[in-house]
Amino acid sequence: MTDELKEKGLEQFRRGEREQALATFTAAADAYAAADNETGRGEMLNNIGVIQRINRNWPEAIAALTEAQGLFAAAGDLDRQAQALGNLGDMYAANGEEQLAIQSYSDSAELFARAGEKAKESQVLWALSLYHLRQRHVAQAMMIMDRSYAVHPHPNIFQRLFQALIRFALALFNRPA
């Protein structure tokens, strides 16, 4: 029953039926809790948090994502914990909470690195870099973007070229006047 609810919610979300998906994920979270499956419950809370973030319901998003992150931490699931932290980073970035966004993204990248999830680590670092760029922290953005490319498991030719340009620009920044 729980997995069916999860799949139904995901399909509703893909179709853009956010309110229906929210109700389905809530029912699935309750079903996972009744089955004493805290990881499954955490996954549903993460989904609920994403929908609440999209709907700009900040307190509900924070509550769901924070609880999900805690459940994954208790289960020792670094990958899902990192995903929840990355989603919190997105939420805080959208809400203009700079320090919380930076901390959440950084913690997420660190956990992905510990879990050996290099592609996901690279993706979160890229999001953190773009956040710094939007804040006009250009040098910081470029350093983090370089890290994003450095950990990427299979960069394509364009990514390698862009990384070379970033490193050239960083070298210019660090040049004595």
Q: What is the pLDDT of residues 59-96, one digit of tens each?
A: 999 999 999 999 999 999 999 999 999 999 999 998 89
| Angle (deg, nearest 10), helices 118-134 and 98-115 | 160
Q: What is the pLDDT of residue 175?
A: 59
Residue ending a domain, choose from 97, 132, 160: 97
Sign of the CA dihedral with 143 first, then 119, 40, and 3 last: positive
Low-confidence ranges of the chain (pLDDT < 70): 175-177
Q: Residue 127 sits in which domain range?
A: 117-177
Query: Do 60 and 129 belong together in one domain?
Result: no
Q: What is the pLDDT of residue 132?
A: 93
What is the number of structural domains in the chain?
2
CATH number at residue 19: 1.25.40.10
Q: What is the pTM of this model?
A: 0.86
Query: Do 48 and 89 belong together in one domain?
Result: yes
For 14-41, give one letter per residue: b (16+ CB within 10 A) or e: eeeeeeebbebbbbbbebbeeeeebebb
Residue ending a domain, choose from 47, 68, 97: 97
Query: Do 68 and 11 belong together in one domain?
Result: yes
Query: Do 59 and 123 belong together in one domain?
Result: no
Considering the domain boundaries, does residue 127 fall inside one? Answer: yes
